[in-house]
Structure 1
Amino acid sequence: MTIKLKPLSQTLLLTGLLSHSFVVLAEDVKQSPSLEQLQQQIDSLQEQLQQQQQAYEKDRQDDRANIIAKTNGRSLKFESNDGEFSAQIGGRFQADAAFYGSDIPSGDATDIRRLFLDLSGQFYQDWGYRFQYDFARPGESSSSRGIRDAYLKYNGLEQGSITVGQFKTPFGLEHLTSSLNSTFLERGLNHLFSPDRRLGVGFDTYSENWTASIGAFGGPVESETSSGQDQDEGWNLIGRITTTPIKTDKSLIHLGVAVRQNWAQDSDKSQRYRASPEVEADGNRLIDTGLINQVDEQQAYGLEFASVVGPFSVQAEYTQTQLQRSCSPDLKFDGWYVFTSYFLTGESRPYKKGVFDRIKPLHAVGNGGIGAWELAARYSTADLNDADIYGGELDNATLGLNWYTTDNVRFSANYIRVLDVNRPGSDVDGIDGDILALRAQFDF
């Protein structure tokens, strides 16, 4: 019978034999028939030990060279045998259609809202990466231009991780919740004040019932080409803290606060805020400040609240931004929303690390079920009127219906009622009207 020991066991055995040999030699050299024979035995054992170490290193290299393909039912993941290297391919597709009432100055339209392809994974265990590209909007502003995420992340710290590259700034609950998992087709009107992706460096940490994130970022990409002069692009310091004082399997209370400080560019100090009526298929903005010049600094503050009790949830956010101008009065704009949702089929909104996660139907279509059905209602408003700026005030009410056939296929319908537009001097001042928006969504 042949006994085959693992490399580590063989190493320990050989080390023990060597130690025993030296002890015997030290106790009574005279008992040894020959010092030369003993030396030969030691040399032989050392050679075997070296061979075992080489074999062990070769086995490790072979394990690393072997690739395992895995799937979670949605995406494909490749991983080395030792678990130190991985790569996962993912994507997202959202197709929209919108039908506007005659009082809304927009035409019926269809649109590929998002068409993402991304690659993410890890290397040497502690390092992570992600690259995401949007083929639907390859040439627009930085908030939606082709390259979305492009960053490295170091996870080797005892508490927290460090991210370097282009990624979402830590500001706002809806902003940080993926568009895949948003209750409505578009985020609330206050989202126009949330800085989107920026190049920068960030640190985030979390525990069972709280999260904290902070980052330093450059200005939006388009600011670098907005003037032909050499200039700084501006800087942002952004942070967010959340807590869940109550959290169980199917109930929670979420509280959050976010702060942004922006130092404008040296020469081109313009800012602009605008928003569509929570539908992007047509792209027409009902409120728009136009360019606001001579902005030296600006701040933004966000408050977050959410509560989930079984299939029922409530969520609300308030955001305010303040602008300091060098030759004109300071400005203050704000916006907020509140919504409620209910799952007719008994699901509950999942929550993870300060944001809401993917809905997983209790009984998916294809497995003998009807999927998950969700009803939702929202009120949303934004005010861009202050001092000499008349960007407009917009009030919206939305009813939503979501059908999650599986955890990666979803169909949605939103009925939006534009309650009022208060924008003195513009063609849309005082209008109201109806919009029906539809979406088909798939991700992997």
Structure 2
Amino acid sequence: MTKVTKACLLAAVALVAATPAYAQDDENQRFEGAPRIGSTEGWSIKPRGRVQYDVGHVDAPDGVAGDFGWMDELRRARIGVEGTAPGGFGYTFELELADGIAEITDAIVTYKAAPPLTFTVGQHNNFQSLEELTSSRFSTFVERSAFTDAFNFERRLGASATYARGPITAQAGVFVDNLRDLDDGDDTISLDGRFVYAPRVGATQLHFGASAHWRDNGDLVDRGTTTRYRQRPLIHATDVRFIATPALPVDAETNYGLEAAVIHGPFHAVAEAHWLDTDTRTGAEPSLFGGYVELGWFITGETRGYRGARFDRTRVRRGGAIEEGGFGAVQVAVRYDHLDLSSNGVTGGRQAGWQAGLTWIPTDHVRFLANYARLDYRDARLPAAGGDRDYAVDVFAVRAQLDF
């Protein structure tokens, strides 16, 4: 555990210990998956966390090197706190406890300057895409679209502002690096922005968005650090990447994306496209691309949640014990997921993913997901028998999840 992690963990414990207990103030208590306790002065505190356990199977062609077959993983195990403080301030602190380590995911302080304007300081997402900004607790499939990992999206330390009024949301910020990499002294910096127009037309929720990002990698290349763009096959439990670029001396990245979504009753549709242009020392400047189209239907009649320019929690119409008639929500979904890592002399391979998903949500805070994917590869990094690099891989994955 790093010194930064230890310090933040101690700070979180101290925060919980120092926050006044308002257990006797019944009017300022409510349950949101976990108890939120507050006071009339503006203080509040609520524990938060999630556990996601995955099991999957990867079936690759003969001759492909790697550890395939059945595998399992504690995908995420997080614990933290969130709340408010007098004067319009708020806070969120969360630790990732999977893989036997403690790593900070979110560590932010917010300030609501006025009803439409909020400032945020700390480690948080830098507005990369609708798919990335939507919490893994509410995603349709076990893993997000391939481009989000391939393009190295992650939370970073920075300062940002969000303007939200009616259907308009505008976000912009300046960021450095993830907390775990701050000791590297690489002087990286990025400028990030996103604009969303999300009108509600009758019973239909629409979403149209665009984002733009520029990142300077500082002296990473001078210190011998290179960048790779690569992706796993739908499930995180395997370390095998069928497509990957070679290690590149990347000085800077410029990327931009487009988002569109619609929610109407039990149906939803969403599509995104994202482009990443790189500036390298080799003279090659590959332009990489990823995107997806997704369709979903709650056969039990629920509506996919949406709030704050991203997808949110789905509220179950008939939750609770099955013997009492509370079966929960059932959703079916399909997705086409495309990732192209070959461009301008750089061969990283192409992936076309055809995916189907079934999700059961017995209560608002419990989910079970089952996914199947047929992934077609071209110019795969790993050759099959006879040296063939054009082949297909079948993947099955299930997840059990609880959050609060």
TM-score normalised over the length of structure 2: 0.86
State how far apart, in whole Å, the 2-side matches of 1:431 and 1:65 are: 60
State how far apart, in whole Å, the 1-side matches of 2:231 and 2:174 are: 26
**1:233, CA displacement in angstroms?**
2.7
177, 182, 197: which is aligned to 1:219? 177
TM-superposition CA deviations, 1:203-262 (whole Å, max 9, x none): 001011111100100034565566xxxx533110000000024444x4222100000001
Distance 1:242 1:273, change over 3 A: same
Q: Give the match for residue 36 of structure 1.
A: none
Distance 1:158 1:368, change over 3 A: closer
**1:84, CA displacement in angstroms?**
1.4
Q: Could you say which structure has the higher helix fraction?
A: 1
State how far apart, in whole Å, the 2-side matches of 1:220 and 1:330 are: 25
TM-superposition CA deviations, 1:318-344 (whole Å, max 9, x none): 000001123412111011100100010
Q: Give the match for residue 365 of structure 2.
A: 408
State how far apart, in whole Å, the 2-side matches of 1:99 and 1:323 are: 34
State how far apart, in whole Å, the 2-side matches of 1:257 and 1:415 are: 30
Q: Is the 8 A contact 1:190 1:318 kept in 2?
A: no
Deviates more, 1:185-194 or 1:68-77: 68-77
Q: Secondary structure at the match of 1:179?
A: coil
Question: Within 5 A, what are the aligned runs for 1:111-190?
Answer: 111-137=73-99, 139=101, 146-190=103-147
User: Is the counterpart of residue 423 in structure 1 residue 380 in structure 2?
Assistant: yes
Q: Give the match for residue 74 of structure 1.
A: 33
State how far apart, in whole Å, the 1-side matches of 2:201 and 2:313 are: 17
Q: Secondary structure at the match of 2:351?
A: strand
- Equivalenced residue count is 369
Q: Is the 8 A contact 2:234 2:395 kept in 1?
A: no
Q: Give the match for residue 304 of structure 1.
A: 259
State how far apart, in whole Å, the 2-side matches of 1:66 and 1:377 are: 46
Letter of the 2:166 partner, please give it. Answer: E
Question: Within 5 A, what are the aligned runs for 1:163-312?
Answer: 163-192=120-149, 193=151, 195-221=153-179, 224=182, 231-248=185-202, 250-266=203-219, 267-268=222-223, 270-293=226-249, 295-312=250-267
Q: Which of structure 1's runs of 4+ aligned residues deviate more than 6 A?
A: none
Distance 1:146 1:208, change over 3 A: same
Unmatched tracts of structure 1, length 5 or more: 1-63, 140-144
**1:184, CA displacement in angstroms?**
0.7
State how far apart, in whole Å, the 2-side matches of 1:306 and 1:176 are: 14
Q: Is the 8 A contact 1:77 1:88 kept in 2?
A: yes
Identity fraction in percent: 31
Letter of the 1:135 partner, please give it. Answer: L
Letter of the 1:233 partner, please give it. Answer: D
Q: Give the match for residue 57 of structure 1.
A: none
47, 71, 86: which is aligned to 2:44? 86
323, 339, 344: which is aligned to 2:278? 323
Q: Give the match for residue 97 of structure 1.
A: 55
Q: Could you say which structure has the higher strand fraction?
A: 2
Q: Secondary structure at the match of 1:329?
A: coil
Name the larger-Rg structure.
Answer: 1
Distance 1:146 1:224, change over 3 A: closer
TM-score normalised over the length of structure 1: 0.78
Letter of the 1:379 partner, please give it. Answer: Y
State how far apart, in whole Å, the 1-side matches of 2:314 and 2:382 are: 44
Letter of the 1:443 partner, please give it. Answer: D
